Amino acid sequence: MKAEITLTVTMLIISIPAVLNQLIMILVMYAKGFVGYAILVRPILMDFRVNTVSCYFYWTHPYYKKKTTNMHHSINAWSPSN
């Protein structure tokens, strides 16, 4: 269940900058004076998307959670000299 939620949010994080990227390009078609800004903003949005998704996935996916182990287990071994 937790992994499924993580993957859903990951997909949303991927989608938001991609949609913003497309909206910027549509707006630039109508406002040609902002082409230079779009050229600057698009790569930043794509880099932001990749870094955000990677960090979110690492911090929230159950596979990467630190597992605690109890190191105070006693080990019983059989010895031939017994």
pLDDT in tens, 14-40: 788 778 878 888 888 888 887 888 888
Query: pTM of the predicted model, to two decimals?
Result: 0.48
Query: Counting beta carbons within 10 angstroms of the beta carbon of residue 24, is it exposed (0 to 12), middle (13 to 18) or buried (19 or more)?
Result: middle
Q: Return the residue matching tokens 């900058």.
A: 17
Determine contact, residues 36/26, Cβ cutoff 8 Å.
no
Neighbours of 31 (CB within 10 A): 10
- Classify residue 65 by its DSSP letter: S
Query: Counting beta carbons within 10 angstroms of the beta carbon of residue 23, is it exposed (0 to 12), middle (13 to 18) or buried (19 or more)?
Result: exposed
The whole-number pLDDT of residue 59 equals 79
